[in-house]
A and B are shown apart, each in its own frame.
Chain A
Amino acid sequence: MDSAVRADLFEYLLRLGDDRLVLGHRLSEWCGHAPILEEDIALANMALDLIGQASNLLRLAGEIEGAGRDEDALAYFREAIEFRNALIMELPRGDFAFTIGRQFLVSLFGVLYLEQLARSAHEHLAGIAAKAHKEVRYHLRHSADWLLKLGDGTPESHQRMQRALDELWPYTGELFETDEIERRLAESGVAVDSSTLQTRWLEEASRAIEAATLAVPNESFMHTGGRRGRHTEHLGHMLAEMQIVARSFPGAKW
C-alpha cells in the first residue's frame, strides 16, 4: 500500500472509529441513571457494542498508520481537534427522548452504511463491518420501538420526542457529507460513499417518525466540521472525563 492510500485509510478509519467511540461513551453515561433497570442494561449493552467496534477500527487504524499507536493510544491520547467523529455523536446525552432520538437516527444510518461496508474490498474492514451490522440492527429495533412508544405516548413524551428530533435534525446532514478522501477510497471499493445513502435514510426515517405521530423536521440548515476536527465545546468536556485515568496513570494495568 503506498503512503498516500495509507494516509487516506488511516483518516477514514479514524472517522469510523471515533463515531463509535464517542457515541459509545455518551451511551455509557446512562449506566446507573436510566429510567428503568432494563433500559440501563440495554443502553450499557449498546455502549459496549459500540466501544468494541471502535476498538476494532482504531486498532486497525493504528496498524495502518504504522507509528506504534494502538487503539488505547488513539482513544486516550489524542486531543479534541484530532477527533474525526460527526458532531451528532458528541452532543450531551440530554433526556431519554434525546438519547433515543439520536440512537434512532444514527442506528438507521449505521445499518445502511455497514451493510455496504461489509462488502468493502478491504477484507479486514469488511469483517469488522459485517459483525457491527448485526449488532446495530438490534440497536435500531430498540430505538425504533421507543420512538413509537414515546411519540405515540403521553402528551409529555410526545412533546419531548418531537423536541429531541428538532434539536438533532440539523446534525444529520454531516453524516452524508463526503470528501476527496472518501471518494478516492470509494472508487477503489474500500469505502462507502455516504452521500448515496441519504435518500433511503430519509425515506425510512420519515416513515418511522410519522408512524410515531411525530413531524419530520423541515430544517435545512446543517452543522458541519467534525470530520475536520472542528467540534462543539461538548467534546472537550467529554474527553476530559474519558481520558483522565489513562493520562494520569499512563500504562496502568489492572
Chain B
Amino acid sequence: MPEVGALWEAAAGVTDPEIPVLSVVDLGIVRDIRVEGEEVVAVITPTYSGCPAMEVIARELESALRRAGAARVRVETVYWPAWTTDWISERGRVALREYGIAPPAKPAAAGEELVPLTRRTDRVLCPYCGSSHTQERSEFGPTACKAIYFCNDCSQPFEYFKPL
C-alpha cells in the first residue's frame, strides 16, 4: 500500500475536465484521502450541485489512485461542509489566471442585503492585461462556476470564476 503522501500526489495529477490546467486538489474538492485496511478512500465534494464533471472526476481519481498502487479504491461524495472558492489554492489561482480565467474575489457577499436592489459587481482584473477597467456581462457563463466579463482596455471577453 502506497503512502498517503504519494496518493495525494497522484490525486494532484487529475485535472478538472472543464479547466484542464487546474488540479482537483488545487480546486479544493478532494477533502480527504485515507487508507482503511486494504482500501483507499478518497472523499470529494462537488463545486455545484449540478456539476456534470463530478462523475468523470471521480472515475479519473479512482484510476489515478490505482496507478499509484492502491489495490482497492472507494470514492465518497460529501456535501458538508459546502465547497467554497476560498478552498482554491494559491497555485490554483495562478493557474486559472494564466489560462485566461480571472480567479474569484472574496467569497459571495455575506452580509449583503437579501434582495440586492442596487447591484455591486466584483472588481475583477482582466487576466490578459491586468486592467481593472472590466465589466460584468452576465453572472452566468459557459459552466456553472463562471461568469462572463469584458475588458474595456484590451477589448477581450473573459471568464471569471465566481465566488461561492
Contact = CB atoms under 8 A, between A and B. Distances in A.
A134 B108 contact: yes
A41 B141 contact: yes
A126 B81 CA distance: 9
Interface string A128-160: 101111110110111011001000000000000
Interface residues of A, number: 41
A15 B14 CA distance: 37
- Tell which of B50, B80, B116, B162 has the most Cβ of chain A within 10 Å: B50
B71 interface: no
Interface stretch (B56-64, B91-99, B132-140): B132-140
A48 interface: yes
A207 interface: yes
A108 interface: yes
Nearest to B137: A38
B79 A127 contact: yes
A38 B79 contact: no
A111 B114 contact: yes
Contact of B50 (A52, A140, A208, A211): A52
For the complex of A and B, list the 5 residue pairs with the smallest distance between their C-beta atoms, beginning with the closest: A52-B50, A127-B79, A127-B80, A52-B49, A42-B140
Given A130-B79, A138-B139, 11 more contacts: A42-B139, A49-B144, A56-B79, A112-B114, A127-B78, A130-B82, A134-B108, A134-B164, A135-B164, A144-B115, A207-B117
Interface of A: 38-39, 41-42, 45-46, 48-53, 55-56, 108, 111-112, 123-124, 126-128, 130-135, 137-138, 140-142, 144-145, 148, 204-205, 207-208, 211
B8 interface: no
Main secondary structure of the interface of A (DSSP, over half): helix
Main secondary structure of the interface of B (DSSP, over half): loop
B48 A49 contact: yes
A208 B83 CA distance: 30
- Tell which of B78, B83, B138, B141 has the most Cβ of chain A within 10 Å: B138
Interface string B28-69: 000000000000000000101111100000000000000000
Contacts of B81: 127, 130
Interface in B114-164: 114-117, 119, 137-142, 144, 148, 162, 164
